[in-house]
Amino acid sequence: MTLGALQRSGRERLAAAGIPSAALDAALLLCHAAGVRREIVMAYPERAVTPGQARAYDAAIRRRAAREPVSRILGRREFWGLDFALGPVLDPRPDTETLVCAALDWLAGRSGARVVDLGTGSGCILLSILHERPGDTGLGIDVSAPALAVARVNARSLGLSDRAAFAGGDWSAGLAAGTADLVVSNPPYIPSDDIVALEPEVALHDPLGALDGGADGLAAYRRIAGDLRRILRPDGAAFLEIGAGQEDDVSALLTAGGARSVRRFRDLSGRVRCLGAFFGGAKAGDHFDVGK
């Protein structure tokens, strides 16, 4: 059996299973099973594979045909150009990089910031920020002990364990007043009744606790928004990812929680993906251009 023959077989099996990204997924899984780069598969399709590699590829194709995400099969996900291990955590999505970008823009010109990530999961948001900001430190909070274990693994692999700590907690409940200069969060925001209609890759493989935002999808925002003013330092800010169409409701919660201004950030598709809440007066968020 050769690389090219395996790739064709995998592509056909995934296409028959209704996987829209069959060609790409088959190629990625082949590289993983055979331990080669994509350039090798393209340049040397005649290269032979071992029986063990063929079996590993077959198992991976079976899992993907059953709608398990490629990232779950690989056990890893790239985010912000960094490599993150997965586990019982939300699979990081590229759109969440909108939040990271907005937070980094706000941090520009500041030094020695303390960043708190509520519901940290894999740690991808916090660790991406700290990777770009060598003088900052951070704390990731999560109610899930297995998620915290994954985040600590990622911090070690990225060389950030000395500046990133992780602790169990119920959102911000255990944090002291004035803990953070910046709060970031991608909380669960899908209404409970909508979860059953999600794609199987999400509904069956992301932790329910990272998806379910309560009856209206806003339960976590109520908890977070009501405590931001207490845990932030006087000129602090918070950046929260939101679900589609939630910008007005979450903006109202942030304003009721004491935010002096709230701004909207759009992802590459033009959807409002993130809100920035500023607690230090009009100038706190005015040095960069945001939501159109």
Shared domain check, 216 and 125: yes
Shared domain check, 143 and 271: yes
Shared domain check, 95 and 43: no
Q: What type of residue sits at position 57?
A: Y
Quickly state the pLDDT bin for 286 (edges 50, 70, 90). Answer: very low
Report pLDDT for 268.
93
* pLDDT tens string 44-94: 999 999 999 999 999 999 999 999 999 999 999 999 999 999 999 999 999
Quick check: 7 pLDDT over 80?
Answer: yes
Whether 291 is in a domain gets the answer no
Shared domain check, 116 and 28: no
Shared domain check, 110 and 33: no
Quick check: 154 pLDDT over 50?
Answer: yes
* pLDDT tens string 119-138: 999 999 999 999 999 999 99
Shared domain check, 92 and 62: no
* pLDDT tens string 200-249: 999 999 999 999 999 999 999 999 999 999 999 999 999 999 999 999 99
Shared domain check, 83 and 32: no
Shared domain check, 121 and 8: no
7 class by beta-carbon count within 10 Å (0-12 exposed, 13-18 middle, 19+ buried): buried
* pLDDT tens string 268-277: 999 999 999 9
What is the tally of structural domains in the chain? Answer: 2
Under DSSP, the state recorded for 2 is B
Cα(164)–Cα(137) distance, integer angstroms: 6
Cα(220)–Cα(118) distance, integer angstroms: 10
Backbone φ and ψ for 216, nearest 5 degrees, come out as: -110, 5
Whether 25 is in a domain gets the answer yes
Quick check: 146 pLDDT over 50?
Answer: yes
Quickly state the pLDDT bin for 291 (edges 50, 70, 90). Answer: very low
Q: What is the CATH number of the domain that holds 151?
A: 3.40.50.150
Provide the percentage of residues in the chain whose pLDDT is more than 70. 96
Report pLDDT for 290.
40
Whether 178 is in a domain gets the answer yes
Domain end position, chosen among 17, 39, 66:
66
Quickly state the pLDDT bin for 292 (edges 50, 70, 90). Answer: very low
Shared domain check, 83 and 28: no
Domain end position, chosen among 17, 34, 66:
66
Shared domain check, 266 and 142: yes
Report pLDDT for 280.
82
Whether 238 is in a domain gets the answer yes
Shared domain check, 141 and 183: yes
Report pLDDT for 23.
97
Which domain does 140 fall in, by range?
79-285
Residues contacting residue 197 through CB under 8 Å, at least 6 positions apart = none
